[in-house]
Structure 1
Amino acid sequence: MPLQLVKPRLHELRRIRVVANYQFGRSASKAFLKTILITRSPNTHRIRHIYNEGELLATYRPKDGLLALSIPGGQALRSIFKPPRLRVEVVQGVEEFIEKGGNVFCKHVQDVDPELRPAEEVLVVDGKDRLLAVGRSFFNAEEMLSFKIGVAVKVRHGIQS
């Protein structure tokens, strides 16, 4: 049976916004408007997915209760936060590979939010702040810039994948 889109209850909307503010920083809750819809787990009745205007914004991660972004969710956060907040900027020439869902290697990182830590959700952008992908960081900002080998960001969704 497919999951049904439903309007969140007031306490669920508040929870989504509080988690977004905690995870991404103040003002992140602006990405999750009152018009969002959610799906619930049929067994636990917990929130699974968050949609806005038919597009998946984020998925609740059951292990830690945080959000895993999708491309529309990344675009919403990109419009709220100014660079370099939440961003990993890559060098020119690797954009196509990353757009298709390829991981970001340390040698391709050009600039990064200095406050990023390992295992955080990040926005992968090019030099013009165009969103290429969303994913999870493996290193902190200093390590991403100094290492020349290894995966810096495990890409979850590329804009073409």
Structure 2
Amino acid sequence: MGPESCGARRLWALRGAYQDPKLIWRTEGLRARVGWVYLVRVATDEEVEILRAIADYQFGLGVGATVIPDRPLLRVSRRTGRVRAVVDPEEGVLFTVRASTYTLIPTILGAVRLRRALPFPRLRCVVVNEVADEVVARRSTVFSRHVLLVDESLRPGDEVLVVDESDRLLCVGTLKLSPTEVMEFIRGAAIRVRACING
């Protein structure tokens, strides 16, 4: 059962609430590249429940309650009415939302929460310490030859936390190979890095 069944349709059905003037304000600094303005508002209790269910589906049972705050802000597309990001009012954007699948894509702030919520080695790819600083500095692709360990439950296309041998979070990205291929191949890219801990 995909995340769509966990509440994407219900979130879409709630789009009428986005027009409530008591909940919406324009955030001029949050603009899409094509020029329209996002709307930012406080999530309803039902939406929080749905987002946590999606997080549980993606990352593991019980994770949603840890990584999704009680009263997050939602960044909403003005054109489509769809949720585009989950924002902690104190910290910033935790997750963006992939429109095609309604899955959560962690930012580095979201990755920090996931690492705290998940026991080692869940959702992790461990790289050798010798390349850790280089990966962060260059925000470069992680190659198979540098990987010591990877969570065997992951699949290609899954979100993955890149950590060093001490479980220090380095980056977050997308797994390009299966865990078996990552460990067996000595050539090729294993992870496409999206963001690193230093920004």
- For the aligned pair, the TM-score class normalised by the smaller chain equals over 0.9
TM-superposed CA distance for 1:59, in Å, is 0.1
Paired residue type of 1:159? I
The counterpart of 1:96, out of the listed 129, 133, 137, is 133
Aligned match of 1:26: 61
C-alpha contact (below 8 Å) 2:43/2:71 kept by paired residues: no
1:93 counterpart SS class: helix
TM-superposed CA distance for 1:5, in Å, is 3.0
The two structures have a TM-score, normalised by structure 2, of 0.77
Richer in helix (by share): 2
The counterpart of 2:101, out of the listed 58, 64, 67, is 64
**Distance in structure 1 (CA, Å) of the matches to 2:141 and 2:87:** 25
**Distance in structure 2 (CA, Å) of the matches to 1:97 and 1:58:** 25
Q: Confirm or deny that 1:86 pairs with 2:123.
A: yes
- The within-5 A match list for 1:6-155 is 6-29=41-64, 30-52=66-88, 53-100=90-137, 101-155=139-193
Q: Deviations over 1:120-152 (max 9, x none)?
A: 000000011010000000112111111111110
TM-superposed CA distance for 1:94, in Å, is 1.0
C-alpha contact (below 8 Å) 1:134/1:156 kept by paired residues: yes
Paired residues, number: 161
C-alpha contact (below 8 Å) 1:102/1:158 kept by paired residues: no
Ranked by relative contact order (alpha carbons within 8 Å, sequence separation 6 or more), the top structure is 1
Task: Please give the root-mean-square deviation of Cα atoms over the aligned residues, in Å.
Answer: 1.2
**Distance in structure 2 (CA, Å) of the matches to 1:96 and 1:10:** 41
Paired residue type of 1:64? T
C-alpha contact (below 8 Å) 1:6/1:39 kept by paired residues: yes
TM-superposed CA distance for 1:47, in Å, is 0.8
Aligned match of 2:8: none
Give every structure 1 segment of 4 or more consecutive aligned residues whose post-TM-superposition deviation is greater than 2 Å. Answer: 1-5
Structure 2 gaps, min length 5:
1-27, 31-37
**Distance in structure 2 (CA, Å) of the matches to 1:58 and 1:120:** 14
TM-superposed CA distance for 1:154, in Å, is 0.4
TM-superposed CA distance for 1:48, in Å, is 0.6
The two structures have a TM-score, normalised by structure 1, of 0.95
